[in-house]
Amino acid sequence: MFTNIYSLMPEELANKIKIEQLGSPVYRTKQLLFWLYKSYINEPDKMSNLPAEFKTYLLNNYSFYLPETDSKLVSSDKAIKYRLKLEDNELIESVLIPTEKKNTLCISTQVGCGRNCQFCSTAKMGLIRNLYNYEIVGQVIYAARQLKSSDNKKLTNLVLMGMGEPLDNLDNVLSALRILQSQEGLSFSPRRITVSTSGVVPGIIALADSGIKAKLALSLTSAIDSKRSKLMPVNKQYNLIELKQALLYYLRKSSYRITIEYILIPSFNMDDDDLKALSKYVGDLSCKINFIPYIPGKDSIFRAPTVKEINDFMYRAQSLPQAITLRKSRGADIFGACGQLNKNNLGAKI
């Protein structure tokens, strides 16, 4: 089986070509990288300025496989969910969320997920497998190409918040982040990449120690251990105290404020006691808090909060010391909103 060309750091690819293609001028690799990462072309035959023998070398030594379209769904609020097929026919999903100023892509890091959060449709798939680094990078190239060809626009932000727990697939995620941030790769600023976690403590520490910069988002959803453990089994493994230590460690190592995601679930985490616990937990954290009204997936055991319940909660939440935002999750009618991704959830296909 050939090495997938997107699995290599641009510098690593350049070195391999230097060794294997003695006599090939240095600018040849630059031309290749431009086709791969700036033009989003993955067919050597279409790389018009490369000589025939160099194309033959590439085809004989590398796979250029990128995730392929299985379906594309567009929501009434203009979010686009791509269901993508991998080489082994497994399916993953990415969601493009366009706004006036930003085009954010939410990408997957695993096929399914093993963390079993009770508010999440992906959890129902279980963990099927980790994605390889080039499958994570491939989702970005795929969406960037779609945006460029349909609207001549660029992707601006990435969130690793789709299917899977990114920190349970740390090696591939770190390697993908390096390629996404490399100037000769996709050249994303670390400020524009957010890694979201359910609270995998060793992963938070390893990310902080890796030297790779990225923003961190934590799905907290309750600051009371007994409640959080009911909703997110990861809390039985790493409780709120351990989690807090890891977050403080991350803050010491990184220059970015943490984002706390708090899904609003009526009759579960919206009472005064919940707010009081949250206020105490985040008191000394440099963070902002996003409150996200829960959107039930198929067979959900919880209901969505009413507008009155949300307004009442947000009024009381103003007592929190941090910046707070009410974030409406987009793409609900195509099962593309937060916690709804599951390869079996289909909306209207176009």
Minimal distance in Å, beta carbon 98 to ligand SF4? 23
Minimal distance in Å, beta carbon 119 to ligand SF4? 7
170 is a contact residue toward ligand SF4 (CB under 6 A): no
117 is a contact residue toward ligand SF4 (CB under 6 A): yes
How many angstroms separate the most distant Cα atoms in the chain?
71
274 is a contact residue toward ligand SF4 (CB under 6 A): no
Residues 197-236 that bind ligand SF4 (CB under 6 A): 198, 219
Among 5, 73, 84, 120, binds ligand SF4 (CB under 6 A): 120
**Catalytic: 87?**
no
Structure tokens at 238: 């790493």
Minimal distance in Å, beta carbon 116 to ligand SF4? 6
Active-site choice (93, 135, 165, 261): 93
Minimal distance in Å, beta carbon 144 to ligand SF4? 23
261 is a contact residue toward ligand SF4 (CB under 6 A): no
**Catalytic: 93?**
yes
122 is a contact residue toward ligand SF4 (CB under 6 A): yes
Residues 146-165 that bind ligand SF4 (CB under 6 A): 163-165
Which residues are identified as catalytic?
93, 338
Q: Contact residues for ligand SF4 (CB under 6 A)?
A: 113, 115-117, 120, 122-123, 163-165, 198, 219, 339
